[in-house]
Structure 1
Amino acid sequence: MDTLVVTAPGAGAGAAAALRKLYMLRFAFAAVWAGLLFAGADTLGASTFTLLVIYPLFDVACAVIDIRSAREDGRSARGLYVNVALSALTVIGLALAAASGVPAVLRVWGAWAVTAGIVQLVVGAARRRLGGQWAMIASGFISTLAGASFVAQADKGGASLDSLAGYAFLGGVFFLVSALRLGRARARA
C-alpha cells in the first residue's frame, strides 16, 4: 500500500534509489508476515491479532520514510499523508473488529484494501516517470478487487484470514518487481 507522490523535475535518481530500498524492505516484510499469518490464521488469538495490527502499522512507518524521501527530493507527499491516515484508521478499526470475530476483521481489512488500492493506483501513475511503476499500478487495481472480495467473503460462512496472507504476499511480490524494475531504470540512466 503505497501512496501519491508527484515527482519534481530532476528528482528521479534519488527518488528511484530510495523507492527501490523501501520496496525491497516491503517485499521482505510482506513475505515474512504472510508466512506467519498463514501459519496461525486458523484462530483470531492474540498472536494473529498482533500480526493483523502490525501490518498497517508497518505501512504507516513506510509512508513516513517515503514522506522524508519525498521532501528531500522535492516531491509532493500529499498522498502519503492520506496513506498514513488510512492505515492508522485501519489499526483502530482492526482493534474494534477483533472482538466481533473474523468476518468483522475481513470487512475492515477489505475497506482498507479498497481505499489503499485506489491510492496506490494513483501513486503508481504519478510516479511512472521513475520507471518500474506498472507493477504498483497493477497492485493497486488488484488490491481494490481483493478488498471487495474480503468484504464479500465476510458475509459467507466459514470466513477465514488465510486469504489475507496470500494478499500480502502477492503485494510483496509486486513491490519486489517494482524494486527490480527501478534498479534497471536507474542502471540505464
Structure 2
Amino acid sequence: MTTSAKAQGPNNDWLKTYYFLRFAVSTIWVALAFTVGKTMPPLAAVMLVAYPAWDAIANYLDSSRSGGLGRNKSQMLNFVVSIVTAVAVASTLGHGMHDVLKVFGIWASLSGLLQLATGVKRWKSYGAQWAMILSGAQSVLAGVFMLKQASGAEAVGIANIAPYAAFGAFYFLVSAVSLTVSDARRRSKTAVA
C-alpha cells in the first residue's frame, strides 16, 4: 500500500476500531433480541428501529474518516437507505411483524449490495476486505430469505432478524481480526527489511 493510498482513506487503526465496534453493537443487539426482545414487545420495537438507525450512524462515522459521504457514494446511499428503513420500520410496526420483516428484507438486500461495493472499493487500498464482501453478499441472501418468511403464514418476530445481525457481527469480527493480522505481517516485514 502506498502512502498516498493510505492518505486517501481511513487509516487501518480506525477501520479495525470501526469493525470491532460494529461487532460489539451487533452482538449486544443479538443477545437482547434472543432474550428480552422476544418477551418485551416495546423493547423489541425500539430495537427494530434502532438497528437500521445505528447502521446509518455507523456509515456516517466511517465515511467521515475517509472524505465524507460525498466521496463515498456507496456509504452515502447506505446511510440514506438505513435512515429511510428506520423510519419505515417505525411506521410499519403497527401493521404487524410480517410487514416489518418485509422492510428488513428489502433493507438487508440493499445495504448488502452497498456494503459489498464499499468492500470492493476498499480492497484496492487496504486489502483484507474479503469478509466485508462476503458479508454484503450474505446480506442480500438474508434479505431474500426474510422476504420469503414475511410472505408466509408462520408467526415472525425479532428472532427472525437476529440471525442476520449475528452473521453481520461475525463478519465484522473477522474483518477486524483480518486487518489486525495483515497489519502485523506488514509491520513484521518492515522491521526485518
Give yes or no for the alignment of 1:163 onto 2:160.
Answer: yes
Pairwise CA distance, 1:15: 2.3
Cα displacement string for residues 107-154 of structure 1 (whole angstroms, at most 9, x for unaligned residues): 000000000001111111111131221000110001000001101101
Q: Please tell me the residue identity of whatever aligns with 1:20.
A: K
Q: CA, structure 1 residues 145+13, in 2 after alignment: closer, same or farther (shift >3 Å)?
A: closer
Pairwise CA distance, 1:177: 0.3
8 Å CA contact retained: 2:109, 2:144: yes
TM-score where L is the length of structure 2: 0.86
8 Å CA contact retained: 1:60, 1:88: yes
Give yes or no for the alignment of 1:17 onto 2:48.
Answer: no
Cα displacement string for residues 65-98 of structure 1 (whole angstroms, at most 9, x for unaligned residues): 11210028xx932222111100000011101110
Take 2:30 and 2:74, find their aligned partners in 1: how far apart are those partners? 26
1:120 is aligned to: 115
8 Å CA contact retained: 2:75, 2:118: no
Give yes or no for the alignment of 1:184 onto 2:176.
Answer: no
Which structure has the bigger radius of gyration? 2
Q: Please tell me the residue identity of whatever aligns with 1:77.
A: N
Q: Please tell me the residue identity of whatever aligns with 1:25.
A: L
Take 1:152 and 1:43, find their aligned partners in 2: how far apart are those partners? 24
Secondary structure of the 1:10 match is helix
Q: What do you get for the CA RMSD once the two structures are aligned?
A: 2.0
Sequence identity percentage: 33
Q: Please tell me the residue identity of whatever aligns with 1:108.
A: V
Q: Could you say which structure has the higher helix fraction?
A: 2
Take 2:164 and 2:55, find their aligned partners in 1: how far apart are those partners? 15
Q: Please tell me the residue identity of whatever aligns with 2:164.
A: Y
1:3 is aligned to: none
Pairwise CA distance, 1:38: 1.3
8 Å CA contact retained: 2:109, 2:143: yes
Aligned residues: 180
- Give unmatched runs, 5+ long, in structure 1: 1-7
8 Å CA contact retained: 1:135, 1:175: yes
Pairwise CA distance, 1:12: 7.4
Q: Please tell me the residue identity of whatever aligns with 2:110.
A: T
Give yes or no for the alignment of 1:174 onto 2:174.
Answer: no
8 Å CA contact retained: 2:56, 2:83: yes
Pairwise CA distance, 1:13: 8.5
8 Å CA contact retained: 2:81, 2:111: yes
Q: Please tell me the residue identity of whatever aligns with 2:175.
A: S
Q: CA, structure 1 residues 13+102, in 2 after alignment: closer, same or farther (shift >3 Å)?
A: closer
Pairwise CA distance, 1:11: 2.9
8 Å CA contact retained: 1:153, 1:159: no
Give yes or no for the alignment of 1:89 onto 2:103.
Answer: no
